[in-house]
């Protein structure tokens, strides 16, 4: 197992090395205006950190993404769980979720700027982009609970609260967790896009400024910041949480013996 | 024996228009073991589901005279994210008990079916098929049932293990005088219980859903 993990890390490093090589080759082929070099990007990033631009922007985007994601997840989970348990609720909510999923995120940004503006425009866009995905996963999670378990709970007259807490929620987690991880990453990307268009601060605002100054090195530096945050969230938060939650599973995602 | 704990009177049941049970009359005497055998598809699991109240008959009546019911299904139906002890304690969720009491009862039930104390904290994936069925049996017993329903509980296990578990079940019956209705497709299981000196009433379900004997 350890050897397999070691190999995975090695292949990961090889692919990142190849990507960086390709980046540098593109820089030499097309010049710094189209694609700044790795050194220029690192320099721009360092300047942004030193002059205090990166930190507040990062915090701003994190606040937008987290608030929007939390709203989307709470609404998606509540509606999805209800829809999974009650056919009538499902009939009412599912078409709405399909419509919401069909609206492009960029259209939501434009509408949200008109409706709310600033901070809430970003939060709303993130929530409305992530909520339907969590809703769909929650429905599937509730409806795929094993019939044998449901019959067993009925026989032993297990109260609804205990069934929800000990049967539905743990089962749903295995369906909802991938959606939570996907929408968490998505929330950052949507937040940056909404910030860029709405001028609500954050990394998106930084990108807009860099674009206005035709400073491609700064643009790449902001992109590096977003990607680094997503990788850090996955390594530090999501992967350990997944191992801990799925200790009972009999597969590679479990941390159990 | 003081009358029937469970009685089927003229029960008909059909699934998607296909008759499964026809005119079923059966009385399960209090304190006894009633074994219904029959080939696959003869409606044995339907009979158990009707007895457990999981299905409603199309015609006739099912009268159950018990306060507490234990069921061992073909599939152990364990919650994979809970340990053996937590799975057993789950059946007590509807009872007003403090957490410690619930845990102690679950541990005692696991010990009664011959599971080692060290296995109580294992997840189902860490237990063998036979151990999982023991956990399911412990879960059925922890509620202190008046009536135990067994739907081919050990049919998926190999011969020796199956015999050992029948012995456990027979021993529990001898100790508690627990009214038991079990269905099986394997007549050898009936004789395994009979060899244990237990008084058994037998019946046989035919493929047409009619009961002979019982």
Residues of B in contact with A152 (CB under 8 A): 71, 73, 77
pLDDT given at position B193: 67
pLDDT at A225 over 70: yes
**Average pLDDT of the segment spanning A232-251:** 80
**Average pLDDT of the segment spanning B70-97:** 93
Residues of A in contact with B51 (CB under 8 A): none
pLDDT at A1 over 80: no
pLDDT given at position B55: 94
B59 close contact with A: CB closer than 8 A: no
Condensed to tens digits (0 to 9), the pLDDT of residues B137-178 reads 999 999 999 999 999 888 777 777 777 778 788 888 888 888
**Average pLDDT of the segment spanning A184-198:** 92
Say which CATH superfamily domain A37-243 falls into: MetI-like (1.10.3720.10)
pLDDT given at position B211: 75
Condensed to tens digits (0 to 9), the pLDDT of residues B104-136 reads 999 999 998 888 889 999 999 999 888 999 999
pLDDT at B2 over 60: no
Residue B43: strand, helix, or coil: coil
Question: Comparing A243 with B63, which gets the higher pLDDT?
Answer: B63
pLDDT given at position B195: 62
Measured CA distances, A191 to A31, A58, A147, A219, B74 (Å)? 30, 11, 40, 16, 51
| Closest chain B CA to residue A146 | B77
Q: What region does B182 belong to: left with phi over 0, alpha with psi -120 to 50, or beta?
A: beta
pLDDT given at position A38: 92
Residue B204: strand, helix, or coil: strand
What are the structural domain ranges in chain A? 37-243
Describe the strand order of the beta sheet including B59-64 as a list of residue ranges.
Answer: B18-29, B4-15, B59-64
Q: Of the given ranges (A15-19, A99-103, B135-139), which has the lowest mean pLDDT?
A: A99-103
pLDDT given at position A240: 86
Q: Which two tokens stand for residue B64?
A: 């159950």
pLDDT given at position A180: 92
Condensed to tens digits (0 to 9), the pLDDT of residues A142-170 reads 999 999 999 999 999 999 999 999 999 99
CB contact under 8 A, A162 and B143: no
Of A148, A171, A257, the CB nearest to B75: A148
Share of chain B above pLDDT 90, in %: 43
Place of tokens 């809430």: A120
Condensed to tens digits (0 to 9), the pLDDT of residues A212-221 reads 999 999 999 9
Condensed to tens digits (0 to 9), the pLDDT of residues B19-52 reads 888 888 989 988 888 888 888 888 889 999 999 9
Q: Which residues contact B98 (CB under 8 A, 6 or more apart)?
A: none
* Whole-number Å distance between alpha carbons of B153 and B76: 8
pLDDT at A131 over 60: yes
Q: What is the mean pLDDT of chain A?
A: 89
* Whole-number Å distance between alpha carbons of A205 and A197: 8
Q: Which two tokens stand for residue B63?
A: 């009268």
pLDDT given at position A196: 92
Instruction: Write phi, then psi, for B44 (nearest 5 degrees).
Output: -65, -45
Rg of chain A over Cα atoms, rounded to whole angstroms, equals 22
> ∠ CA B79-B182-B206 to the nearest 5 degrees?
120
Secondary structure of chain A: what % helix, strand, coil (to 5)?
A: 85, 0, 15
pLDDT given at position B129: 87
- Asked whether the beta carbons of A68 and A187 are under 8 A apart, the reply is yes
Question: Comparing B78 with A256, which gets the higher pLDDT?
Answer: B78
- Could you tell me the pLDDT band of residue A28, with boundaries at 50, 70 and 90? very high
pLDDT given at position B42: 83
- Could you tell me the pLDDT band of residue B1, with boundaries at 50, 70 and 90? very low
pLDDT given at position B202: 72
Burial category of A95 from C-beta neighbours within 10 Å (exposed 0-12, middle 13-18, buried 19 and up): exposed
Residue B62: strand, helix, or coil: strand
pLDDT given at position B204: 75
- What's the fold here for domain B1-68+147-213? Rossmann fold (3.40.50)
Residues of B in contact with A167 (CB under 8 A): 79
User: How many of the other CB atoms lie within 10 Å of CB of B17?
Assistant: 5
Q: What is the pTM of this model?
A: 0.78
Q: Which two tokens stand for residue A69?
A: 């994601």
Burial readout B174-194 (b: 16 or more C-beta within 10 A, e: otherwise): eeeebbbbbbbeeeebbebbe
CB contact under 8 A, A158 and B71: no
Share of chain A above pLDDT 90, in %: 65
Residues of A in contact with B71 (CB under 8 A): 152, 155
What crossing angle do the helices spanning B44-52 and A147-155 adopt, rounded to 10°? 40
- Could you tell me the pLDDT band of residue A254, with boundaries at 50, 70 and 90? low
Give the per-residue SS3 of A13-66. HHHHHHHHHHHHHHHHHHCCCCCCCHHHHHHHHHHHHHCCCHHHHHHHHHHHHH
* Whole-number Å distance between alpha carbons of B122 and B111: 14
**Average pLDDT of the segment spanning A164-192:** 91
pLDDT at B86 over 50: yes
CB contact under 8 A, B81 and A170: yes
Residue B70: strand, helix, or coil: strand
* Whole-number Å distance between alpha carbons of B63 and B45: 18
**Average pLDDT of the segment spanning A17-42:** 92
Burial readout A49-85 (b: 16 or more C-beta within 10 A, e: otherwise): eeeebbeebbebbbbbbbbbbebbbebbbebbbbbbe
**Average pLDDT of the segment spanning B2-23:** 87
* Whole-number Å distance between alpha carbons of A113 and A131: 19
pLDDT given at position A158: 95
How far B195 CA lies from chain A's nearest CA (Å)? Answer: 31
**Which parts of chain B are beta strand (E)?**
4-15, 18-29, 33-37, 59-64, 69-72, 147-151, 179-184, 200-205, 211-213
């Amino acid at each position: 197992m350890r050897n397999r993990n070691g190999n995975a890390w090695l292949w990961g490093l090889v692919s990142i090395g190849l990507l960086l090589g390709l980046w540098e080759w593109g820089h030499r082929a097309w010049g710094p205006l189209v694609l700044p070099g790795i050194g220029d990007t690192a320099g721009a990033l360092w300047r942004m950190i030193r002059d205090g631009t990166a930190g507040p922007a990062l915090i701003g985007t994190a606040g937008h993404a987290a608030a929007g994601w939390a709203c989307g997840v709470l609404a998606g989970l509540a509606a999805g769980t209800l829809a999974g348990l009650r056919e009538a609720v499902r009939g009412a909510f599912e078409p709405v979720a399909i419509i919401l999923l069909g609206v492009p995120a960029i259209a939501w940004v434009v509408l949200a700027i008109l409706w709310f503006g600033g901070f809430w425009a970003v939060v709303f866009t993130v929530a409305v982009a992530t909520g339907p995905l969590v809703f769909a996963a929650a429905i599937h999670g509730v409806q795929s609970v094993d019939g044998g378990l449901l019959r067993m709970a009925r026989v032993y007259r297990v109260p609804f609260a205990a069934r929800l807490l000990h049967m539905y929620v743990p089962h749903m987690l295995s369906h909802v967790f991938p959606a939570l991880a996907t929408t968490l990453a998505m929330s950052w990307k949507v937040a940056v896009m909404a910030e860029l268009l709405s001028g609500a601060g954050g990394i998106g605002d930084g990108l807009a400024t860099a674009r206005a100054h035709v400073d491609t090195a700064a643009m790449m530096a902001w992109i590096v910041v977003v990607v680094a945050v997503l990788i850090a969230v996955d390594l530090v938060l999501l992967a350990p949480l997944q191992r801990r939650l799925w200790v009972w599973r009999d597969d590679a995602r479990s941390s159990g013996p | 024996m003081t009358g029937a704990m469970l009685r089927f009177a003229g029960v008909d049941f059909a699934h998607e228009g296909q008759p499964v049970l026809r005119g079923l009359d059966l009385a399960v005497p209090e304190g006894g073991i009633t074994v219904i055998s029959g080939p696959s598809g003869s409606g044995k699991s339907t009979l158990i589901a009707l007895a457990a109240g999981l299905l409603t008959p199309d015609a006739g009546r099912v009268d159950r005279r018990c306060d507490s019911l234990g069921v061992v299904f073909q599939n152990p139906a364990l919650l994979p994210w809970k340990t053996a002890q937590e799975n057993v304690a789950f059946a007590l969720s509807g009872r007003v008990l403090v957490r410690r009491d619930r845990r102690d009862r679950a541990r005692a039930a696991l010990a009664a079916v011959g599971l080692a104390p060290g296995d109580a904290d294992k997840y189902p994936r860490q237990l063998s098929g036979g151990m999982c069925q023991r956990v399911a049996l412990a879960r059925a017993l922890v509620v202190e049932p008046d009536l135990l329903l067994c739907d081919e509980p050990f049919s998926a296990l190999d011969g020796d293990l199956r015999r050992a578990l029948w012995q456990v079940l027979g021993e529990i019956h001898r100790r508690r005088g627990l009214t038991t209705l079990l269905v099986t497709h394997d007549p050898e299981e009936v004789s395994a219980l009979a060899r244990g000196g237990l008084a058994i009433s037998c019946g046989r379900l035919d493929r047409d859903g009619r009961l002979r004997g019982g």
